[in-house]
Structure 1
Amino acid sequence: MANTPQAKKRIRRNNVRATINHSRVSRIRTFIKAVESAIATGKKDDAAAALKKMQPEIARGVARGVIHKNTASRKVSRLSKRVASLG
């Protein structure tokens, strides 16, 4: 248990930040799932539109520090490749 007032405050702030970061990661995952479900239906137009919405969301996650830039790049690259392969 924290003893100093500053340590107690840091615990409060860490809990708040963790909640915010969790919601940001969850939002990114939701956008990724939307692209994957559009790919599963096989509709290229829907998948491309979902991908276009997902990309800035992932970039925002990188800017906020909730996901690594290489992870973001890998996810965008792989999903773009799958969308492009739809006939």
Structure 2
Amino acid sequence: MKEWIEKIWRPNVNGCQMLLLDSLKVHKMASIRQYLENDCATQVQYIPPGVTGLSQPVDVGVMKSFKKKIQDLYVKHHIDHPFQPTLLRGV
């Protein structure tokens, strides 16, 4: 979790933020919460157990369009920046 915070969360947020997490044990570790709140200016809130299933239809709808957008960006990136052939790729 701390690796994700360092590589993804911290570099991409500015100012005070709120992070909504599920009730996974690692998310609820006091050290993780303290690190987010004290070092990353992030307020942590938890989704109550059992609620995730209720929100799944919304999640599916949101994720479908999100994944499509990511896929489109990935394809565009590789069209604009094609892989350069190397000897290793030829093997």
TM-score between both structures, scaled by the size of structure 1: 0.33
Q: Which has the larger strand fraction?
A: 2
State the structure with more CA Rg. Answer: 2
Q: Which has the larger helix fraction?
A: 1
